[in-house]
Structure 1
Amino acid sequence: MNGVLRSSVLVLVVGCLGASAIDGFDFPDAETAARYQRLITEFRCPKCLNESIASSGAPIAVDLRRTVRRLMEEGAADEAIRDHLQTRYGDFVLYDPPFKPSTWFLWFSPVLLALVAVYVVVRVARRRTVSAPSDAERERARRLIEAS
C-alpha cells in the first residue's frame, strides 16, 4: 500500500512539473511578458478544439508560442505577428476572425439563428390560440354541471 501511494504521488508531481514547464521564456520586463501573454491568448490551437495556444500542450501550440516569442524578439508589431500566423494557418487560428465575405456566415449566423427562433416561437404561439366555446359547447357544459 505504501508503495502504491508513493508511486501515485510521484506521478502527480512529475505531471505537475511538466505542466508548469510549458513556457520557460524569460522576458526583459513585465510589459513584454504581458504582451506575450496577451498575444498567445488571441490565437486558437490548430489541433485542439476551442483552446488557445496559451493553454494547449499540443506540439503545434508549443511551436506557435515559440514563433510568437521569436517574432517579438525580432521586433515585430502585434499586427505583424497576427498577419504572420493568419497567413500560415488561415482565419481559423484567430479567435476574432476578420469581417470579410468568407467569414460573414460566422458573424451573421447568431443573428440568423435568433430570427429563425423568433419566427418559430411566433408560429407556434399563433397555432395554440384557444378559441371561445361555441353556444352548443356552453349548453352542453351547463347541462353537465346541472346533472352532477
Structure 2
Amino acid sequence: MKRLVVMALVGLGLALGIAAADTPTTIRRDGVVLTIPQEKRAEVIGDRLRCLVCQNETVENSQAGLAKQFRGIIRRRVVKGETNQQIVDFMVHRYGIFVLLKPPLIPLTWLLWFSPVIALALGLLVLLLARRRKQQGAPPLSPDERDRLKELLS
C-alpha cells in the first residue's frame, strides 16, 4: 500500500513538473522576446493605436505590414522598460496624432470631434430652407401672364 501511495505521489509530482515546464515564461513575437506581462502591456498599447493602412483597426488586430512594424517598435520599447505613455508619446511624435485610435479633444482635432454636430446642423438648415421654400408656393400671375394663359388655353 505504501508503495502505491509513493508511486502516486511521484506520478503527481512528475505531472506537475511537466505542466510547469510546458508553461512558457517568454514569448517571441514580432522579432522580440518578451515575458507574458510585457506582452500583455504591448497588446494594451497596440489596442490604443490605429493602423495607418487599415485606419479603423487597431495595430494589434491589423495584418498590414506597417502594423507589424508598429508592433515590433512597441514591443522593443516595452522590453527597454519605457512606460505606456512614453511609448504612445513616441508614436504620436513620429507618426502624428492620427495614430491614436481615440484622439484627444484639442484645437487640432476639433473638426474631427465636432464634424457630426456640424453635419447635423447643416442638414437641419437645408431641411428648414427647403420646407420654407415649399410653403411659400408660386407667386401669383401678373395681368399680362393671365392674358397670355387665357390666349393659350383658348
**Common fold: TM-score over 0.5:** yes
Which stretch of the first structure deviates more once superposed, 54-63 or 75-84? 54-63
**2:84 alignment partner, one of 75, 78, 88:** 78
8 Å Cα contact 2:46-2:60 kept in structure 1: yes
Cα distance in 2 for partners of 1:26, 1:70 equals 9
- Scaled by the length of structure 2, the TM-score of the pair is 0.59
8 Å Cα contact 2:91-2:99 kept in structure 1: yes
Q: Which runs of 5+ in 2 are unaligned?
A: 1-27, 138-154
Cα distance in 1 for partners of 2:136, 2:54 equals 51
Q: Which runs of 5+ in 1 are unaligned?
A: 1-20, 132-148
Cα distance in 1 for partners of 2:132, 2:33 equals 64
- Is 2:69 aligned against 1:56? no
**1:36 alignment partner, one of 32, 35, 42:** 42
What's the RMSD between the two structures over aligned residues? 2.8
- Indicate the structure (1 or 2) with the bigger Cα radius of gyration: 2
**2:113 alignment partner, one of 107, 110, 113:** 107
Partner of 1:56: helix, strand, or coil?
A: coil
Identity over the aligned pairs, expressed in percent? 34
**2:93 alignment partner, one of 87, 91, 94:** 87
1:75 counterpart letter in structure 2:
G
8 Å Cα contact 2:31-2:72 kept in structure 1: no
Determine the structure 2 residue equivalent to 1:3. none
